[in-house]
Amino acid sequence: MKKSLKLIIGTVIAIIFCLIIYSYFNVSGDEITGVPNITTSSNIVIKKSYQGDTKEQEYVLDANQIKMLKILILQTDFTRNLSTTVRFNDKDMYSIVINDNEAGVWLTIHCIGNEWISIANQFNGKHLKINNPNWKSTLEEILVLSE
């Protein structure tokens, strides 16, 4: 009896430990501070550039685009990376600047294509791997509506 109790307790501890590690590395979009508070009246600007090119295209989002962006972020899961540097192949760079004084949201999300995001003052400055294969295409759909 004591042997099976020790086995059960050991298994429960191992499962809890695995869940803690999983929850640390897996980040859902609603864990990004400020994103749930974004409103359609927020001031959101997306700056798009290409690696190695100094020119930027700037897009100011309207209410519909803001709603689409908020849904995209909230429905995406990310994986925490422990490294301070990341390797990437995508050349498209996006800076999503969100300002909303009423909601108290000041957020800048730097995005490398469909691969990585980095958020100033969150997640210890580490990059988060994007786990949504449609991230970049959806972001581009949002930007096309500005043209």
Locus of tokens 């295209």: 57
Over 80: is that where the pLDDT of 104 sits? no
Tell how strand 127-130 and strand 116-119 pair up: antiparallel
Count how many domains the chain has: 1
Structural tokens at position 37: 């508070």
Instruction: Give the separation between CA 140 and CA 138, rounded to whole angstroms.
Output: 5
Which domain, by its residues, includes 47? 2-144
Structural tokens at position 76: 């995406």
Over 80: is that where the pLDDT of 54 sits? no
Over 90: is that where the pLDDT of 105 sits? no
In sequence order, what are the beta bridge partners of 107? 98
At residue 40 the predicted structure's pLDDT band, cuts being 50, 70 and 90, is: confident
Other CB atoms closer than 10 Å to residue 106's CB: what's the count? 13
pLDDT above 90 as % of the chain: 55
pTM as predicted: 0.85
At residue 13 the predicted structure's pLDDT band, cuts being 50, 70 and 90, is: very high
Residues whose CB falls within 8 Å of the CB of residue 67, separated by 6 or more in sequence, listed in order: 40
Instruction: Give the separation between CA 89 and CA 38, rounded to whole angstroms.
Output: 30
Q: What is the mean pLDDT of residues 92-118?
A: 88
Residue 1 has what pLDDT? 64
Q: What is the mean pLDDT of residues 102-107?
A: 80
